[in-house]
Structure 1
Amino acid sequence: MTQVKQLAAVSAFLQRDHGHFINGLSQPGGGALRPVIDPATGNEVARVHDGCAEDVSAAMAAAQQAFLGSWSEMSTLARGNLMLKLADAMEQHREELAQIETLCSGKTIALSRGLEVDQAVAFLRYFAGWAGKIYGETTEISLPSFNGEKYRGFTQREPLGVVVGIIPWNFSIMIAIWKMAAALVCGCTVVLKPSEFTPLTMLRVAQLAADVGFPPGTINVLNGNGGLLGPLLIEHPFCAKVTFTGSVPTGRAVGNAASALAKPATLELGGKNAALFLADMSVSEMVDGIMEAGYVNQGQICASAERFYLPAEKMDEVLSVLIQRLSQLKVASPFEEDCQVGPLANKAHLEKILKMVARAKEDGDEILYGGYSPERPGYYFLPTVVKVHSENSTLMREETFGPVGSFLAYDDEEKALQQINNSPFGLAASVWTHNFNKAIRYSERIQAGIVWINMHTFLDPALPFGGIKSSGNGREFGSAFINDYTRLKSVMMRY
Structure 2
Amino acid sequence: MRRPEVAPGRLFIGGQWRESTEDGRIAVADPATGSVVTTVAWGTTADVDAAVDAARAALDGWAATPGRQRGRILNRVAEVVRARADELVAVESLDVGKPISLCRAVDVETTAEQYEYYAALAQTLDGATRQIPIPSHAYTRREPIGVVAAITPFNFPLILSSSKIAPALAAGNTVVHKPAEDTPLSALLMAEILAEAGVPAGVVNVVTGYGAEIGEHLIRHPGVDKVAFTGSTTVGRQAASIAGSQLKPVTMELGGNAANIIFEDADLEKAIGAAIKGFVFNTGQFCMGGPRLLVASPLYDAVLGALAEAVPHVPLGDPFDPATVIGPMAAERHLSKVERYVAQAKADGGRIVTGGHRVDRKGCYFEPTVIADLPDNSSVVREEIFGPVLTVQRFDTEDEAVAMANSTPYGLAAGLQTENLARAHRVAARLQAGIVWINDWAMLDPAIPFGGVKDSGYGREYGPEALAGYTRTKSVVVSLA
Q: Is the shorter-chain TM-score for this pair beyond 0.5, marking a shared fold?
A: yes
Output aligned runs, 1:189-204, within 5 Å. 189-204=174-189
Aligned to 1:133: 124
Matching residue within 266, 282, 300 for 1:297: 282
Aligned to 2:471: 486
Contact 1:272/1:426 (CA < 8 Å) preserved in 2? Answer: yes
Counterparts of 1:212 and 1:268 in 2: how far apart (Å)? Answer: 28
Counterparts of 2:137 and 2:64 in 1: how far apart (Å)? Answer: 27
Residues 200-247 of structure 1 show CA distances to partners (whole Å, capped at 9, x for unaligned) of 111111111112221100011110010111111011111000001111
**Residues matched between the structures, number:** 479
Unaligned runs of 5+ in 1: 144-149
RMSD: 1.1
Counterparts of 1:285 and 1:475 in 2: how far apart (Å)? Answer: 29
Contact 2:65/2:172 (CA < 8 Å) preserved in 1? Answer: no
Aligned to 1:361: 346
Matching residue within 156, 160, 175 for 1:175: 160
Aligned to 2:46: 54
Aligned to 2:73: 82
Give the fraction of aligned pairs with identical amino acids, expressed as a percent: 38
TM-score (norm 2): 0.98
Aligned to 1:38: 30
Moved more, 91-100 or 389-398: 389-398
Counterparts of 2:88 and 2:15 in 1: how far apart (Å)? Answer: 19
Output aligned runs, 1:149-188, within 5 Å. 150-188=135-173
Counterparts of 1:220 and 1:311 in 2: how far apart (Å)? Answer: 50
Counterparts of 1:276 and 1:368 in 2: how far apart (Å)? Answer: 19
TM-score (norm 1): 0.95
Counterparts of 2:143 and 2:270 in 1: how far apart (Å)? Answer: 48
User: 1:279 offset after TM fit, Å?
Assistant: 0.4
| 2:327 matches 1:352 | no
Counterparts of 1:378 and 1:389 in 2: how far apart (Å)? Answer: 29
Counterparts of 1:73 and 1:474 in 2: how far apart (Å)? Answer: 26
Aligned to 1:147: none
User: 1:158 offset after TM fit, Å?
Assistant: 0.9
Moved more, 385-394 or 58-67: 385-394
User: 1:265 offset after TM fit, Å?
Assistant: 0.7
Aligned to 2:223: 238
Matching residue within 328, 331, 338 for 2:323: 338
User: 1:280 offset after TM fit, Å?
Assistant: 1.0
Residues 77-111 of structure 1 show CA distances to partners (whole Å, capped at 9, x for unaligned) of 11111111111001000011110001100000111
Aligned to 2:94: 103
Unaligned runs of 5+ in 2: none
Counterparts of 2:299 and 2:400 in 1: how far apart (Å)? Answer: 17
User: 1:291 offset after TM fit, Å?
Assistant: 1.3
| 2:62 matches 1:65 | no
Counterparts of 2:209 and 2:412 in 1: how far apart (Å)? Answer: 28
Contact 2:64/2:172 (CA < 8 Å) preserved in 1? Answer: no
- What is the SS of the residue equivalent to 1:98? helix
| 2:374 matches 1:393 | no
- What is the SS of the residue equivalent to 1:470? helix
User: 1:330 offset after TM fit, Å?
Assistant: 2.3
Aligned to 2:258: 273
User: 1:162 offset after TM fit, Å?
Assistant: 0.4
Give the residue type in structure 1 aligned to 2:44: C
- What is the SS of the residue equivalent to 1:55? helix
Residues 294-325 of structure 1 show CA distances to partners (whole Å, capped at 9, x for unaligned) of 21111111111111100112212211111211
Counterparts of 2:177 and 2:349 in 1: how far apart (Å)? Answer: 43
Contact 1:24/1:207 (CA < 8 Å) preserved in 2? Answer: no
User: 1:389 offset after TM fit, Å?
Assistant: 2.8
- What is the SS of the residue equivalent to 1:113? helix
User: 1:340 offset after TM fit, Å?
Assistant: 2.0
Counterparts of 1:477 and 1:339 in 2: how far apart (Å)? Answer: 29
